[in-house]
Amino acid sequence: MFKSYPLTSRFAFFLVIPIIVVATISLLRLYGSLPQEQGKVSIRGLSSEVTISRGKHSIVSIQAKHDEDVYFAMGFVHAQDRLWQLELQRHISQGRLSELFGRASLKSDVWIRTLGIYESAKDSWEHLTPESRQSLTAYTAGINAWIEQENPLPTEFVALGVEPESWNELDSLAWMKMFALNLSNNMWREIEFLSASQVLSKDKMNFLFDNNNQDLIYTSTYQDLLKIIPIEELSKVREDLETNLHIGGKNVGSNAWVVAGKFTETGLPILASDPHLSLQIPSLWYAVKQEGSQLNSTGMSLVGLPLVIFGKNENIAWGGTSMLADVQDLYIEQLNPENNSQYLYNGQWIDFDVRTESIKIKTDSPEFMNRPLKPIDIQIRSTVHGPIISDAADGFESPVSLSWTALKPGDTTYNALFEINYSENYSSFRNALSKFVAPTLNYIYADTKNNIGYVAAGNIPIRKSGNGQYPAEGWNSDYMWQGYIEKNMMPSSLNPKQGYIVSANNRIVDSSYPFFISKDWASPERAMRIEELLLDRIAKKQLIDSRYFKQMQGDTVDISAKRFVSLIRNMNSEVPIEKEAIELVKAWDGDMSKDSIAASIFHVWMKNLKSQMFSDDLFSYWNRKDESRALSKVWRNTTNAQIYSALSNERSNWCDNITSEEVESCDYILHSSLRIALKELIKLRGKDIEDWSWGELHYVSLEHQPFGQVNALNLLFNRTLSTGGSPNTINVADAQFRQSKGYVQSFGAGFRQVIELSNESNGYYFMNSTGQSGNVFSDYYDDMFERFFNVEYIDFEESLAPSNATKLVLASDSVSRK
């Protein structure tokens, strides 16, 4: 061969073969990063043996004699399956992403450092019970035990040249703060209010910012705030957090409901829960069963914490949704003109609390061709209200601070989460939740004694004046927080007469409730649909079982769409394609299923209808793009219910906008927006209306961080699938339009669970949105993905049957954990 093809042979020998060898070795090493599932491992830090069973889909069950050892094993399995996720979460919550990804992450690092997430975690540690601390310490030791074994590392570490750091207890508490930040968006609502107030009348402001028939406090004070707060700069910060860190966003919430035993086949309650967050791969959640001396919990853990967050134990079951309470306020601070290191509070000049932090920045790629970047030092100031967020953005004329419940001293939320797992009844469950601080959640409850209940959990501030709708004067005591709603005054319910409880981020109190909670409740359609389906079964006197709850979680009927159809009963057109589209929508039942053509027409129509109806009021000039971005956020966040109300002229006339050619009418806007929608559909899917099914336009995209945004690598790490649903369906799907690609869903349920209580054994059915593993070479990286979006379920106990399970024993080497 060398003689016949000398050049080819030499090329193969000296270049191709070495590449193949190196690639093979690398692949073998990467496959070696998969977890050991069987055998026995001697490990330091355990007091007794622990058995880790893995069933179908690598569902994990942990059994130990001592609860502390269970938490140790939780750290071990999280490290086995999600080590890169743990490392990434640590860097996010510490404001250290720039160390991994370079200066592109600097803005978000400065923001997180300014908030003081990690500093606040240090304070939280001081307020934990000994038992809570022990669980975190054991979890920390379990993660570090896996790292210390020096196993081959997952792909991300190898590709980025990163070594995992030792975990510590504060990393877990800091990630809890980030989770709370994900569910706390009130400051951005204040910015939206300010942004809209530049251009809208009082009536239209009331229409957009109060969909619960309460009057807004509306004064001229806000006009002065526009000179102080650079809305466009804060809009950039918000966009960075939502896009790059998946923190916050529209419609962040959840569904949860429970039905009493008198309506069920088992004669005991059934509970359903599916938290809604920004979607990613791997999922934030990890399924586990924990059995110790007193601990016996099954459910979904949050990677970074050792506990079951939503699930069941032997006696109770629980789920939750975001309450959307207003727990953040912005304050304008007044500087001392003679000493700018002081601010005015309660008639006195007070020194800012100041600390300096250094942010390391990874050298630009390729590193060998670029000089190392010097760390940057930032000064962080705080007041009695909270951190000065204006130091993390440009353009502020005065300091602006953020008051947020999660940053206040004495956060005992982890104590609450810990104690829930040991609760035996409603009383102990509610007592555990009395320690909950942030985020504010609606907890749904059931127990084996045939009780169902609801508890509102978290600290909600009491304001002396106003409702925190826009930034207040920090020096004015009228706007100070006066404490929090007493826990015994928080909304709660036990065994309500109707025999069921529904929570879908909807309003939880009526006008008789003496305290202010929020003006930012979600539109009620999801809650209405859940109740409609329950009442339908109850009215027919058909007993409810877990199968029905599973069907409900997959429901894609949008009540707001059905309401819209009633508005266009008399709408017609002489243009054939418009006429056909109108007739399809008229005959439609509002089901946003992926095979529905009417669903596509409706969704694209509503997008353009929203734009035509609201955008010309919420307008800025072309050469003020950042301001336009902020205003567009306002009209893009309007709801279908608001569109319906505007078209019905119930509260404010949005169809009277004068253009250069004619005065608009609602009928004109309906026809005009439909024409634009049809042009868009033709561009995306062609002229044949039969090709316009919603699933052809709408797909879910789960993106990996960081490789999901890298060409070629995204094909390996990301996952996409055609889906149905809308923001108002139980099977929630909030999608963003991407030019030429269609509607991309990156928000929805992160997992689903249905818990059927029984005197014999409590059935636990669930599905995660991705898989148990974060390792792209694992069979369990995405094995639940399609099943999840097809609304299929795993029976937890069945998956762990002996015939399906592998066993790994962690044996103590008799060295005490430090």
Q: Which residues are annotated as a binding site?
A: 190, 326, 329
Q: Report pLDDT digits (tens) over 53-70.
A: 999 999 999 999 999 999
Average pLDDT over residues 748-754: 96
Q: Which pTM was predicted? A: 0.93
- Would you state the pLDDT for residue 666? 85
Separation between Cα atoms, residue 74 and residue 172, nearest integer Å:
13
- Would you state the pLDDT for residue 220? 44
Mean pLDDT is lowest, of 142-156, 204-218, 402-416, 534-548, for 204-218
**Any idea what the Cα angle at residue 433 is, between residues 430 and 434, rounded to 5°?**
90
**β-strands 751-756, 270-278: how paired?**
antiparallel
Q: Report pLDDT digits (tens) over 723-745.
A: 999 999 999 998 888 887 889 99
| Cα-only R_g, the chain | 28
* Catalytic hit among 98, 105, 254, 546: 254
Cα of 32 vs its chain's centroid, Å: 32
Average pLDDT over residues 578-594: 96
The answer to whether the beta carbons of residues 109 and 97 sit under 8 Å apart is yes
Q: Is the pLDDT of residue 21 over 70?
A: no
Residues in Cβ contact with 506 at an 8 Å cutoff, skipping those fewer than 6 apart: 521, 522, 523, 524, 526, 527
Q: Taking the CA atoms of 543, 547, 550 and 551 in sequence, report the sign of the dihedral they define.
A: negative
> Is residue 254 among the annotated active site residues?
yes
The pairs formed by 658-667 with CB atoms below 8 angstroms and a separation of 24 or more are: 659/616, 667/571
Q: Report pLDDT digits (tens) over 241-261.
A: 888 888 887 766 799 999 999
Q: Which residues are annotated as a binding site for Ca(2+)?
A: 190, 326, 329
Average pLDDT value over all residues in the chain: 89
Percent of the chain whose predicted confidence (pLDDT) is above 90: 71
Separation between Cα atoms, residue 563 and residue 733, nearest integer Å:
19
Among the listed residues 287, 793, 789, the one whose alpha carbon sits nearest the alpha carbon of residue 548: 793
Q: Is the pLDDT of residue 655 over 90?
A: no
Q: Give 647-694 as a 3 state SS string.
A: HCCCCCCCCCCECCCCECCHHHHHHHHHHHHHHHHHHHHCCCHHHCCH
- Would you state the pLDDT for residue 20? 43
Q: Does domain 559-591+597-692 have CATH number 1.10.1400?
A: yes
